[in-house]
Amino acid sequence: MYNKNREDVTNMKETEKRKETSNKPDDSKKKKQKWFIIIICFVLIAGVAEFGYLSSQSKKKEEAQKTAFDNVAVEVKDDYAETIPLTSEEKILKTKDLVEILKDGKADKNTKITKVSKDTIDTSKEGGYIITYTIETIDSLGNKATKDYKKTFTVTNTDEVAPVIKLNKDTVEITEGDAYDPSGNIKSVKDDFDGNITKADKKPDEAGSAYYLIDSSKLDTSKAGEYKVKVTAADKAGNEATKEFTVKVKAKKEDKSSSNGSTNSNSGSGKNNSTSGSKNNTGSSSKNNGTSNSNKGNTSSGSNNSGTSGSSSNNKPQQNCTTVWVQDSAAWDETVVDQAAWDETVTTRVGDIVVCNGCGQEFNSYEEWDKHAGSFASQGDWSHGGYHVDGRYSTSVVHHDAITHVVHHEATGHYEQRCS
């Protein structure tokens, strides 16, 4: 009995041990799961902390990048301006030389230009140039920062010098009734930008044209006197110059006819008054020598015969003398050629074209070019960010008649004395 109870007790203990042994794996699993959860939580917390840190650093960096250019300015240098004068000859400006980079109002060695969208500007081509400058500096965290700045430069005609008018003579003399063209007295009209300027019949309607006009409305060549002729010249920039010269119209000389004062030694009756009636005339004088007449004793003494009178000894025909004008050559008009006829090839600007400075493509309007430049800029290519304006031209030939003036020559001759 005792042994049986003992066996029962032993069996019960073994049974409990088996139960305890069967429960141990469950407790170990639970512990592993617990630690796993703890590790996961730690990783998550660490990750969140790291993310927060990195996010904070990113924000600080972003803020530093944004504020890095708060005190940076791209200024045009004092020697230049955003409006550049148009030049008649090609002149190249380097775009980097046009601006200066300032930080806190002064130059900074760490702030500089690293790239430009266009290296040069040709001042002989009128138009606008949009230049993009890429600037680099150091931010507050010591990192490099970059930013693009745009500047627009416009090449335009800023000519302020008027054309120069040169005349052949300040005073021109012609004879009353002469035909006269005042343009023959114009030696030249030149402008420092536009070169030789040609004569126009009237002021052009289109602005930006170079021309000169001659105002001879007060000139009257049919009447003697002094008259002013006015020359006005303008260049494409609108600068004007004027100059006057005098046309002196001389009275026409009258032909001198024969002189009315005839020379006549006997302006009276024309008789030479060595009349008769002479004493002791030179006629025959007979002397009676006491010859006795057949009449009785009548002796007639010889007497001076008064009956016979001597006639005039200088009774020549009288002459009428007159001074007359003898014409050697008739009056005539001579046409003098001041300038031979010529044909001029005239180039006329009929419109504008916009030319891309980057690729040279031509556009009919600024809007078309802007779309073109924008399409490249959206891809990061700023090389098309400038343009200039060229003219669209047509040519024609204009015939100019010869420029002449008429010189009147008086008749030539001499005076002769004629007697009859």
Ordered by start, the domain boundaries in the chain are: 72-156
Residue range 213-243, pLDDT digits in tens: 999 999 999 999 999 999 999 988 889 999 9
pLDDT band at 280 (very low <50, low <70, confident <90, very high): very low
Instruction: Report how far residue 189's alpha carbon sits from residue 17's, in angstroms, rounded to the nearest whole number.
Output: 130
Average pLDDT over residues 163-172: 94
Q: Extract the tokens encoding 95.
A: 């775009």
CA distances from 168 to 182, 186, 189, 329 (A): 11, 6, 12, 32
Instruction: Report how far residue 79's alpha carbon sits from residue 97's, in angstroms, rounded to the nearest whole number.
Output: 10
Q: From 201, 168, 198, 171, select the one nearest 185 (Cα to Cα).
A: 168
Decide if 111 contacts 137 (C-beta within 8 A). yes
Residue 402, pLDDT above cutoff 80: yes
C-alpha dihedral (373, 378, 382, 385), degrees to nearest 10:
20
Decide if 349 contacts 392 (C-beta within 8 A). yes
- As a whole number, the mean pLDDT across the chain is 78
Q: What single-letter DSSP state applies at residue 263?
A: B
**Beta-carbon count within 10 A of 350 CB:** 10
Q: From 191, 254, 243, select the one nearest 213 (Cα to Cα).
A: 243
Q: What pTM was computed for the model?
A: 0.39
User: What is the structure's pLDDT at 226?
Assistant: 93
pLDDT band at 183 (very low <50, low <70, confident <90, very high): very high
Instruction: Report how far residue 378's alpha carbon sits from residue 385's, in angstroms, rounded to the nearest whole number.
Output: 11
Residue range 53-67, pLDDT digits in tens: 667 767 778 888 888
Residue 262, pLDDT above cutoff 60: no
User: What is the structure's pLDDT at 57?
Assistant: 67
**Beta-carbon count within 10 A of 263 CB:** 13
Q: Say how far residue 162 (Cα) sits from the centre of its chain.
A: 8
User: What is the structure's pLDDT at 68?
Assistant: 87
Q: Extract the tokens encoding 304.
A: 């001076």
Average pLDDT over residues 200-213: 87
pLDDT band at 287 (very low <50, low <70, confident <90, very high): very low
User: What is the structure's pLDDT at 61?
Assistant: 80
Q: From 110, 166, 171, select the one nearest 136 (Cα to Cα).
A: 110
Which of 86-95, 287-296, 325-334 bottoms out in mean pLDDT, i.e. has the lowest?
Answer: 287-296
User: What is the structure's pLDDT at 256?
Assistant: 53
